[in-house]
Structure 1
């Protein structure tokens, strides 16, 4: 790569990470896609083309373990999202066997939760609600607490921890020294909190997911103490953070596309393809990381062994070589094999639950809010560039109808 190619990519990626670009990073992604595989000045490779990202998501030479030489944590202290086979496969099997049966048949319960959250705002008069604080956040938090057997009253504690930890997912050079100190503190707080939960459940097992992970039926798959704690932390935080953004981004797309909102109000079945389009058009997870275990030929370029790689999922989702008219929100888009949940062996375990939560929440908003409109567009966004979504999403309405289910 020549300097003239490298420097624009470095500058464009820096713009993607800037807070003033958070509301709309997609023009930067579009420019990056002109060279879908490119090396930045620090040696990191950016991959922004759909087909190239898909290839790496399924290539065993593309490791989810970032291989950071500064990371001295033992292998067991890394979540399954940062593990390669065979340990990844063992951990994923245990989590899948315990998680999936517990989320099957939850749609009616999810509907009741959404109804209860919106009922607090029932009115025949004009009003407003914050979709993030009043619906998109409390819904998945309540669900993951119920699944894991975590006291709902502990939300304020692990919610604060989660916000600091998710900020730590962004590149280090975008964080202040204070944020890095808060990240270390949050890690320590989470360890103490989770160890307390594990101690309680060991003394008094229940039917919840935490108990299932601790006392898995196959003794060969029982997790060690560190891995149990790491997995519990992953489920607790990832189980709600991404869904918050999915519901908020979906609401934003609906209110910016009134024809789609009207169609969803008239046809609740549209929710299924519509949520898939939200995952493509404005995904809650914008990018992920990999490292090269060997030289990888990709898009006419060779990524050398040992290289760090950033997969720009949100850029790939708007690749015109894969999606027709990719910058347009099409609620019933066909052949929508988006990258919103990743792919390959690391495909999101919670995808089924996240889809159901978003489908039910967005349908309820469309059906019950009379003449909804955005109070501020764009809304204020969170600091996070990787887990991207509004900090607040104020919606004014002329009335909120009772649940007519």
Structure 2
């Protein structure tokens, strides 16, 4: 292994291996090797940062930009302007603030908590739907339809249009970040899907301007306050972001969670008997099996020295969040799933000003789903381990999670 901080060929090769589909089921041994070199320079001039301490520092460093237009060699102009997740202050703060006033504190502090009963009812109905069977797919039967229904209701997107936006959302997700195949072709596919999804949501936004309802999309198009309002294109890009982020990562969180519990049947039993254990379990899942493994779009606004390596101004920085959350310098026994850890710190929702917008909802959705699955499924077992995985190494999770079980218990409350 190369010396710490040495941006040489071997660590770059390990990084490329992580993105190979053959390693999708378990990339964590490769992350452990990669952490021996906290900062890795790639052939394309990008720098990968792999350790918890340095990732956290960069997430809070004002010399780090989220806007790809600050790259030394910026990409060609995209067909849509960037959403707030890939912009910097003050543009980021304005757009995120306008979106947040309809979703969380300080203007709408109870939106997520007031959804608790509805979330519990949705999961109840989904589990009831597999009660007369002995085999199910956790992804198709629970982990996908649950958050999709939630984000559709929250945004005001007709649930019956799911078949339309599912294809577009999948294309955006599976072409996000580094991966196999021609990079230019992946970018073109992603942009085409984003345009199609934006067009669909733009038409829906226009309908809400003319006939507002009690949903987030109506709030985005009708609010006019002292801080201004969103333009039509800003509503479209924000809606695309919220629709995709509002379900894709939660699908992975719930699925990774159930997979981890099924691999640890003692913890599955404890969760049945100790429902509050799910709070720590979800936080530990965000550390141990996070739905987001990389933040690939960060840019150095100045020369920055990290672990003895100088990252030049204009360079692309990739933050390996999943590697950082399993850093043994940060957490004891990092490769053991332990929901009883007294203090669970993780990078599952990123950090800094770009910390996940929907984190409170994602946490609650995962808690509700995993608690009910643990309580109601009788003797659930994996059909295959590892299960088949989705192509993306950035938003990582099983494509399907087939299980067998001996029955489904009646619903007895949350």
TM-score range, shorter chain: over 0.9
Shift of residue 39, structure 1, vs aligned partner: 1.2
Residue 346 (structure 1) aligned with residue 354 (structure 2): yes
Corresponding residue SS for 1:297 = strand
Report 1:113-192 matches (<5 A): 113-123=122-132, 127-171=134-178, 174-175=181-182, 181-192=188-199
The match for 1:84 among 85, 88, 93 is: 88
Report 1:218-233 matches (<5 A): 218-233=225-240
Shift of residue 168, structure 1, vs aligned partner: 2.0
The CA distance in 1 between the partners of 2:186 and 2:303, in whole Å, is 35
Q: Is the 8 A contact 1:255 1:373 kept in 2?
A: yes
Corresponding residue SS for 1:142 = helix
Q: Is the 8 A contact 2:202 2:232 kept in 1?
A: no
The match for 1:105 among 109, 114, 121 is: 114
The match for 1:394 among 381, 392, 402 is: 402
- Could you tell which deviates more after superposition, 340-349 or 327-336? 327-336
Shift of residue 267, structure 1, vs aligned partner: 0.4
- The change in CA–CA distance for 1:256 and 1:173 in structure 2 (over 3 A counts) is closer
- The change in CA–CA distance for 1:108 and 1:227 in structure 2 (over 3 A counts) is same
Shift of residue 71, structure 1, vs aligned partner: 3.0
Q: Is the 8 A contact 2:252 2:396 kept in 1?
A: yes
- The change in CA–CA distance for 1:271 and 1:4 in structure 2 (over 3 A counts) is closer
The CA distance in 1 between the partners of 2:331 and 2:245, in whole Å, is 28
The CA distance in 2 between the partners of 1:359 and 1:28, in whole Å, is 30
Match for residue 203 of structure 1?
210
- Could you tell which deviates more after superposition, 350-359 or 291-300? 291-300
The match for 1:234 among 233, 237, 241 is: 241
Match for residue 29 of structure 1?
31
Shift of residue 175, structure 1, vs aligned partner: 4.5
Shift of residue 73, structure 1, vs aligned partner: 3.6
The CA distance in 2 between the partners of 1:221 and 1:30, in whole Å, is 47
The match for 1:278 among 285, 292, 297 is: 285
Shift of residue 206, structure 1, vs aligned partner: 1.2
Shift of residue 171, structure 1, vs aligned partner: 2.1
Shift of residue 331, structure 1, vs aligned partner: 1.5
Q: Is the 8 A contact 1:113 1:139 kept in 2?
A: yes
The CA distance in 2 between the partners of 1:127 and 1:372, in whole Å, is 9
In structure 1, runs of 5+ residues without a counterpart are none
In structure 2, runs of 5+ residues without a counterpart are none
The CA distance in 1 between the partners of 2:163 and 2:182, in whole Å, is 23
Q: For residues 353-384 of structure 1, give each alpha carbon's deviation from its aligned partner in whole angstroms, at most 9, with x where no partner exists.
A: 00000001001111011111100100000011
The CA distance in 2 between the partners of 1:128 and 1:181, in whole Å, is 39
- Could you tell which deviates more after superposition, 60-69 or 168-177? 168-177
Corresponding residue SS for 2:168 = helix
Q: Is the 8 A contact 1:17 1:174 kept in 2?
A: no
- The change in CA–CA distance for 1:281 and 1:178 in structure 2 (over 3 A counts) is same
More helix by share: 1
The CA distance in 2 between the partners of 1:378 and 1:170, in whole Å, is 23
**TM-score between the two structures when normalised by the length of structure 1:** 0.95
- The change in CA–CA distance for 1:306 and 1:84 in structure 2 (over 3 A counts) is same
Match for residue 46 of structure 1?
48
Shift of residue 176, structure 1, vs aligned partner: 7.3
Q: Is the 8 A contact 2:179 2:392 kept in 1?
A: no
- The change in CA–CA distance for 1:5 and 1:182 in structure 2 (over 3 A counts) is closer
Shift of residue 104, structure 1, vs aligned partner: 2.9
Q: Is the 8 A contact 1:6 1:41 kept in 2?
A: no
In the comparison of the two structures, how many residue pairs are matched? 402
Corresponding residue SS for 2:227 = helix
The match for 2:265 among 258, 262, 280 is: 258
The CA distance in 2 between the partners of 1:345 and 1:188, in whole Å, is 27
- Could you tell which deviates more after superposition, 270-279 or 7-16? 7-16
- The change in CA–CA distance for 1:329 and 1:339 in structure 2 (over 3 A counts) is same
Shift of residue 231, structure 1, vs aligned partner: 0.2
